[in-house]
Structure 1
Amino acid sequence: MDLAAAADAAPAPAYRVLYQRIREAILAGQLSAGSRLPSTRALASTLSVARGTVEAAYELLVAEGFVVGRGAAGSVVNPQLAGTRPVRRDTAASVAPSAGRQAGGPLPLQNGTPALDAFPRKLWARLSARQARNFPSAALPYQDPAGWWPLRAALANYLAIARGVQCAPEQIMITAGYQGALALAAKLLLQPGDEVWHEDPGYFFTRDALLLARTTIVPVPVDAQGMDVAAGLRRAPAARMAVVTPSHQAPLGVALSLPRRLALLQWAAEHGAWIVEDDYDSELRYSGAPLPALKSLDQQGRVLYAGSFSKVLFPGLRLGYLVLPDALIERFTTASTLWWSAHGWLEQATVADFMEQGHFSRHVRQMRQLYAARRMALVEALQHHLGGYIDAVPPAGGMHLLGWLRPDASDEACARDARNHRLAPAALTPWCTEVRMRPALLLNFTNLPVEHAAQTVRRLARVAGL
């Protein structure tokens, strides 16, 4: 549960909710002794709360001995807790870690492309070079196919605080991006012909991957409250899996409402079905508090939480992760030795350093501020130059906005014409399976500098027949 929702649902103030979340993560061993906590500014930005709220929570943790303040160096989990026995779920604790696109670059408006111009390349190169120079002996043997242990531990810490997902590092499997996570889940949990709920409209790569696994796609319509769970129950109550983007639906940008989240979890528990939660850009929210992960509400162990570094860092990493329910750890760990899904140790070790040293939280905060400005610049340019042809409003989160066209327009023709002139908006129509929607263009703003927005929109108007 996110802090804002928790504060509304309970009498405890927000700082107490945050204090309790971090305290539980420390007691559960997810935040290990000596782990560095995000700065108060970075965490306040991530959770969309006042900085004083985070400071009050940290002060209480310091007073109780869970956290030690180190001035300008930040706050860390008390190193003296290293000798304590973490309280973990038996099933997770029983599984010990093993020995540890385009040529020329992306085009303007290209979907899913972060601000590569603003990525801290020198810092990344320095961290990577330091790892290569030190070249640990642990990198020499065959690696744990579930992924580099320090990265899995860093992810468990991050997810516990930022997304409310309580998990042990043993539950995390590093994958080759989101597609690698989905492919692994489909191989192990589905049989040919199994029915799978898929959002309509929804991410076409997900749909194609499920078709490749020879499953039966069940399109479930999406409205202002997200996936229509009742419609899914009418169409295929015995489906074996649902794949959803609950925090920020792809491509419409709506959030799955709480009643529907609970209904989806109830369906999965009653029918023994699985839910794959694609939390692809949850960090990028520009108004309101971050929405809780569906996984944070899962009490029956039916949700597999899939995340990726492609959107928040850079897609060339091809690095993602999967948080598994306890009951699936052994099965996935065994299978991963046959279907190696993780990258080599250097990329994983660099990401782990990037997270452990606080750069990740800082980068997310800086990108959120940058993207908010780029989002508004694109909206204003569209309203000024194409106001009579495209309806566009700033989205609450994510990396793209929807530019709705006239009902008689062809979004596919517009996208094709633009592509021929080195602009890359995406058409909404290919995201739809059965539902028919007003034509629209998906316009990515994160890789479009503010000073280029007006010129790019004028080019779009000229070459796309608008």
Structure 2
Amino acid sequence: MSWAEVYPWEPPAAPVVRGVYGQVREAILSGALAPGARLPSSRDLAARLGVARASVVSAYEQLLAEGYAVGRPGSGTYVRADLSGVLDAPAAPTPAVAPAPGLPERAVRLAATPVPPPRPGERTFNTGRTLMDARAQAAWSRSARRAVRSLSAGDFGYADPAGDLALREAIAAYLRAARGVRCEADQVIVTTGAQHAQDIVARVLLSPGDAVWAEDPGYPASLRILEAVGAQITPVPVDADGLVVSEGRRLAPEARAAFVTPSHQYPLGMALSMARRLELLAWAREARAWVVEDDYASEFRYDGPPLTALQGLDGGQRVIYVGTLNKALFPGLRLGYLVAPSALVEPFRQARRMMDRQAPTLTQAMVLDFMQSGEFAAHIRRRRVAYGAQRDVLVRALTERLGHRVEVAQPDQGLHLVAYLKDGLGDQEAEALADANNVTVQAISRLYRGAAPRQGLLLGFSGFPVRAMAPGVARLARAIG
């Protein structure tokens, strides 16, 4: 299987042939397209780049001539399996030094941690929902059947706490191609989701009283994890460029970690600017701190290719990358992953073993088959189009029906949006009014800890088809309009 289908190809600059050649060559040299990977057909790549097919053919001919690619009659063009003559192996990153783990008493803090009440899942515009079309459901069923048939005696016993090696190899290959993450399979640890991954990180790296940066406003589940281990949370404000790193330095320069959502800040939606990314990494190196990158909705960017992960800029030294398949597929799947710096792999692996021993063997086999069959990449492409359409219809309906009451921030990524309230209406009051009209929205003011809260409503759009948007907005308009 080739990850060329999800690689973020970009229209080339002039001269076109040289631009196409350089882009494909860079994907090969960086390892995003592995030896033996199939390149897109010249016709397909030309359509994606918006260039003439003859330009792609010329670029491929140059790659063939220089030994980067090989042609297989009747099959296509492939990255050459043996690149020893043209490709030097990248230097191994310098191992990071992990701080000693702590074992704090947590029972009292856990008992005091508030648990939010469940929200009716079928109501628009609840979050934590996704959709699978008929093709994906049929493919998932086939993967499930093949996974069951493929079970061997070894699958009925205990397995590696880090996860099935073949699945970790598939995840690593996907992350290298689609997110620019620099990792190998042995750095990947399969978890039940992003929260589980963050819990592992917190248990291993933080002791009671350790200062930790957290975005303000931020993801409440991450804050509950930090509170449970006794960390001293330092709320760091965000602005249009994301986390204000200078404020973090001022408030807690010696913090042990920073928990961030750089590609799509939760809940407000902005991306961390490149200047802030470099500033954050510089602080982490100076303070010997860890950056926990929660890339919770990276697959779904609607206005351009996915942003390169912060971990890719860092080279895997101080950044712990956290991702999830639960939003890419469906929340009930309960599979995610973290990518650990080399020095932290074994501590995280042991922590994962002590929690619940391993991820389910059968579920991992199903996901592996779904990825290897090519259906995962195809599903992501289709969902990106569908979710983008759902977002657009929701924005239009909110603007038409409630433009006098809300200002809509249209996100270029993610599975939710924020509608900021006008005319002095409080968001918690609006939340209660919506609930009485069978609409689920979330008041964002609750997500602030130190900064002055804005009044706005968080609306999820990924779990509801286009046809559900207008009726949902109509009910919301009756509630607050």
> Could you tell me which of 23, 26, 37 is aligned with 1:20?
26
Query: Aligned letter for 2:418?
Result: L
State the structure with more CA Rg.
2
Residues of 2 paired with 1:230 and 1:374: CA distance? 37
Shift of 1:436: 1.9
- Secondary structure of residue in 2 paired with 1:242: strand
Find out whether 1:315 has 2:315 as its counterpart. Answer: no
Aligned residue runs from structure 1 range 149-168, under 5 A = 149-168=165-184
Q: Unpaired segments of 5 or more residues in structure 1?
A: 94-100
- Alpha-carbon distance between aligned partners in 2 of 1:401 and 1:202, rounded to the nearest angstrom: 14
Is residue 291 from structure 1 mapped to residue 307 from structure 2 by the alignment?
yes
Cα deviation for residue 219 of structure 1 reads 0.2
Counterpart CA distance in 1 for 2:437 and 2:169 is 45
- Give the TM-score normalised by structure 2: 0.83
Deviations 1:301-349 (A, max 9, x none): 0000000011111000111100111121232233333234642111112
Q: How far apart, in 2, do the equivalents of 1:312 and 1:40 lie? A: 28
Q: Distance in 2 between matches of 1:224 and 1:270?
A: 25
Cα RMSD (Å) = 3.5
Letter in 2 for 1:21: A
Question: Aligned letter for 1:379?
Answer: V
Work out the CA distance in 2 between the residues paired with 1:44 and 1:351. 31
Q: Measure, in 2, the Cα distance between the counterparts of 1:133 and 1:295.
A: 37
Q: Aligned to 1:412, what secondary structure does the other structure show?
A: helix
Note if contact 1:119-1:313 (Cα within 8 Å) is conserved in structure 2: no
What secondary structure does 1:436 align onto? Answer: coil
Match of 2:235 in 1: 219
Is 2:189 aligned against 1:173?
A: yes
Aligned to 2:106: none
1:363 maps to 379
How many residue pairs get matched? 448
Offset of 1:300 from its aligned partner?
6.7
Structure 2 residue runs without a partner (length 5+) = 1-6, 96-116
| 2:449 is the counterpart of 1:465 | no
- Report if aligned partners of 1:7, 1:17 keep a CA contact under 8 Å in 2: no
Deviations 1:168-210 (A, max 9, x none): 1001010110011000000111111101100001111111111
Q: 2:208 aligns with which of 182, 185, 192?
A: 192
Q: Return the letter of the residue paired with 2:189.
A: M
1:268 is the counterpart of 2:256: no
CA distance in 1, matches of 2:126, 2:248: 32
In the alignment, which of 196, 203, 218 is matched to residue 219 of structure 2? 203
Report the Cα distance in structure 1 between the residues aligned to 2:132 and 2:262, rounded to whole angstroms: 26
Q: Secondary structure at the match of 1:423?
A: coil
> Kindly tell me: are residues 173 and 212 of structure 1, through their superposed partners in 2, closer, same or farther at Cα, counting changes over 3 Å?
same
Among 337, 343, 352, the residue aligned to 2:353: 337
Cα 1:414–1:234 shift into 2, 3 Å: same
1:9-408 map, 5 Å: 13=19, 15-25=21-31, 31=34, 34=36, 50=50, 64=66, 67=69, 78=80, 87=89, 105-116=121-132, 120-299=136-315, 301-340=317-356, 342-406=358-422, 408=424
Query: What is the Cα deviation at residue 107 of structure 1?
Result: 2.2
Counterpart contact for 1:175–1:341, Cα < 8 Å: no
Moved more, 341-350 or 250-259: 341-350
**In structure 2, how many angstroms separate the alpha carbons of the residues matched to 1:116 and 1:339?**
31
TM-score, scaled relative to structure 1: 0.86
Distance of 1:390 and 1:14 partners within structure 2:
44
Residue deviations 1:372-409 (CA, integer Å, cap 9, x gap): 11111111111111111111142211111111112521
Q: Distance in 2 between matches of 1:258 and 1:407?
A: 35
Q: State the one-letter code of the partner of 2:287.
A: H
Q: Is the 8 A contact 1:67 1:77 kept in 2?
A: yes
Report if aligned partners of 2:161, 2:350 keep a CA contact under 8 Å in 1. Answer: no
Q: Which amino acid aligns with 1:345?
A: T
Query: How far has the Cα of 1:15 moved from its partner?
Result: 4.7
